[in-house]
């Protein structure tokens, strides 16, 4: 059962139009959405919720490589400007086993609001070219009754660049340094420990780093200023 509720401003259309008009006049490229998410377990309010996956590294004749990782990151509503919102790691999980990781995505989706808004928690940032068959088999089970249930793995920004891991590490470190801190670990310890022991191509660092890098590049939790947006059900207004 989901612990997330979708909260809509009582005058959503009017508020959206006012924000759009102000953005056009002031030259702002983005506007704040007229809805948000409430965490019923903590009372916290979030602008958006994202998932990421780092696949296990390759097995060698020396060891099993590094375990795969899942992270759920939220954009927290606070006192700062919406475009400068802070991020919090809400949940995480690691395993060497691919089916176990994929089953945990389903569990996380159910817990953190999948289906409350189109696209919420459906696309997980990660490498879309690994373990395609395992994902396809799971999606076949999930979509027997509803094609919208499929899990999508979407590449983070700069995916495929030979320096992608370096880029993701730098983006992640840029938001955890003192004085510019925007990323918080919450009660999660796996990623924190991975950063302290730091290993090249660590799945946890790669996953969350790629997600954070993409969020910093796109500001996905806001809307383009000139779009005529807002209807929770996805219809035009």
- Domain count along the chain: 1
Q: Say if residue 234's pLDDT is above 50.
A: no
pLDDT at 235: 43
pLDDT in tens, 34-47: 789 999 999 999 99
pLDDT at 20: 63
Q: What are phi and psi of 15, to 5 degrees?
A: -65, -45
CA atoms within 13 A on the CB side of 141: 9
Evaluate whether residue 229 is within a structural domain.
no
**pTM of the prediction?**
0.87
The H or E element containing residue 36 is strand 35-39
Evaluate whether residue 105 is within a structural domain.
yes
Evaluate whether residue 155 is within a structural domain.
yes
Name, in order, each residue with C-beta under 8 angstroms of 237's C-beta and a sequence gap of 6 or more.
13, 228, 230, 231
- For residue 71, the enclosing domain spans 4-224
pLDDT, the chain, mean? 87
Q: Say if residue 232's pLDDT is above 60.
A: no
Evaluate whether residue 53 is within a structural domain.
yes
CATH number of the domain where residue 24 is located: 3.30.420
């Amino acid at each position: 059962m989901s612990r997330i509720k979708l909260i809509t401003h009582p005058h959503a259309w009017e508020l959206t139009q006012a924000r759009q008009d102000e953005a056009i006049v002031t030259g702002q490229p983005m506007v704040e959405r007229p809805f948000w998410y409430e965490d019923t377990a903590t009372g916290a309010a979030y602008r958006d919720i994202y998932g990421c996956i780092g696949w296990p590294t390759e097995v060698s004749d020396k060891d099993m490589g590094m375990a795969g990782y899942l992270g759920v990151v939220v954009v927290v509503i606070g006192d700062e400007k919406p475009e400068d919102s802070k991020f919090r790691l809400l949940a995480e999980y690691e395993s060497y086993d691919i089916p176990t990781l994929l089953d945990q995505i389903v569990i996380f989706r159910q817990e953190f609001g999948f289906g409350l808004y189109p696209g919420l928690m459906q696309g997980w940032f990660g490498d879309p070219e690994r373990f395609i068959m395992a994902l396809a088999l799971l999606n076949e089970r999930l979509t027997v009754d509803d094609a919208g249930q499929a899990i999508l793995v979407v590449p983070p920004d700069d995916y495929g660049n030979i320096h992608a891991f370096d880029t993701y590490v730098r983006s992640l470190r840029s938001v955890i340094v003192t004085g510019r801190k925007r990323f918080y670990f919450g009660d999660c310890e796996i990623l924190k420990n991975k950063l302290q022991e730091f290993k090249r191509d660590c799945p946890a660092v790669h996953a969350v780093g790629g997600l954070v890098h993409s969020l910093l590049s796109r500001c996905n939790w806001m809307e383009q200023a000139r779009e005529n947006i807002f209807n929770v059900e996805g219809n035009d207004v």
